[in-house]
């Protein structure tokens, strides 16, 4: 009786058994890559907003301070989004007829909020606090990227937990002097680690990695 399977099936079997391992690994890698990809994280994807607000123009070129609009950043967990009134402090005087700014004027006129699309978001089980980060010398651009160069705003970092822990484990790699926190042009010194360690000591920065620091 002839064999049911040809000899070559042995090879196919061997390859597929070993191959399955690699296939699984490859799938796992693909999932990992996907989860870190802009498709999932929205990193570097500028979102359409009701008004094409340019941080590049307002911050980078005109030099407005972050806190002019994000007023709660030093006191609260939320940095705060500016009320329409803040926009109108200037735009009741300049660019008063610009069609681009019509949603702003309409909002002020009709007493209806502008509905911005959120760019930087963390899940609901994460309790992030802006005020403590700026107090400890974490610059705005450290997390939010080069905001002063963004014509439309995009997310600069994944805001995933591993990314948070990079700094929570080694704050010396990222911290800057308190007076430079709101600067978009600050360049880290060549000896950042050394300098960072000094700041860590001076600002009593803790390496908080226990869970309830952020999850409660």
210 binds another protein (CB under 8 A): yes
Which CB sits closer to another protein, 23 or 132? 132
Which CB sits closer to another protein, 2 or 212? 212
Min. distance of Cβ 58 from another protein in angstroms? 16
Min. distance of Cβ 100 from another protein in angstroms? 19
Interacting positions 127-186 with another protein (CB under 8 A): 127, 129, 131-132, 135-136
Comparing CA positions, the residue from 66, 56, 37 lying closest to residue 146 is 56
Which class for 1: exposed (0-12), middle (13-18), buried (19 or more C-beta within 10 A)?
exposed
* One character per residue 99-128, x = contact with another protein (rule: CB under 8 A): --------xx--xxxxxxxx--x-xxx-x-
7 binds another protein (CB under 8 A): no
72 binds another protein (CB under 8 A): yes
Count Cβ atoms below 10 Å from residue 7 Cβ, excluding itself.
7
DSSP SS3 for 68: helix
81 binds another protein (CB under 8 A): yes
Give, as one character, the DSSP assignment of residue 154. Answer: B
Which CB sits closer to another protein, 82 or 188? 82
Dihedral angle over CA of 146, 150, 155, 156, nearest 10: -30
Residue 151 near residue 56, CB atoms below 8 Å: yes
The C-alpha atoms of residue 213 and residue 1 are separated, in whole angstroms, by 72
Q: Which residues bind another protein (CB under 8 A)?
A: 28, 31, 34-35, 39-40, 42, 72, 75-78, 80-86, 107-108, 111-118, 121, 123-125, 127, 129, 131-132, 135-136, 204, 210-213, 215-216
């Amino acid at each position: 009786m002839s064999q049911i399977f040809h000899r070559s099936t042995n090879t196919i079997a061997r390859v597929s058994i070993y191959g399955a391992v690699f296939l699984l690994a490859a799938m796992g890698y693909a999932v990992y890559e996907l989860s870190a990809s802009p498709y999932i994280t929205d990193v570097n994807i500028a979102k359409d907003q009701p008004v094409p607000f340019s941080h590049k123009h307002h911050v980078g070129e005109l030099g407005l301070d972050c806190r002019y609009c994000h007023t709660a950043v030093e006191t609260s967990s939320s940095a705060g989004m500016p009320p329409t009134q803040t926009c109108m402090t200037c735009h009741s005087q300049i660019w008063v007829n610009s069609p681009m700014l019509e949603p702003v004027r309409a909002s002020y006129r009709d007493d209806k909020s502008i509905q911005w699309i959120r760019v930087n978001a963390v899940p609901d089980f994460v309790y992030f606090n802006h005020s403590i980060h700026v107090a400890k010398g974490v610059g705005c651009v450290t997390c939010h990227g080069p905001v002063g160069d963004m014509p439309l705003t995009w997310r600069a970092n994944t805001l995933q937990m591993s990314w948070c822990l990079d700094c929570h484990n080694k704050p010396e790699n990222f911290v800057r002097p308190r007076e430079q926190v709101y600067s978009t042009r600050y360049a880290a010194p060549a000896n950042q680690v050394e300098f960072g360690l000094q700041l860590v000591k001076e600002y009593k920065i803790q390496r908080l990695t226990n869970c309830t620091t952020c999850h409660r």
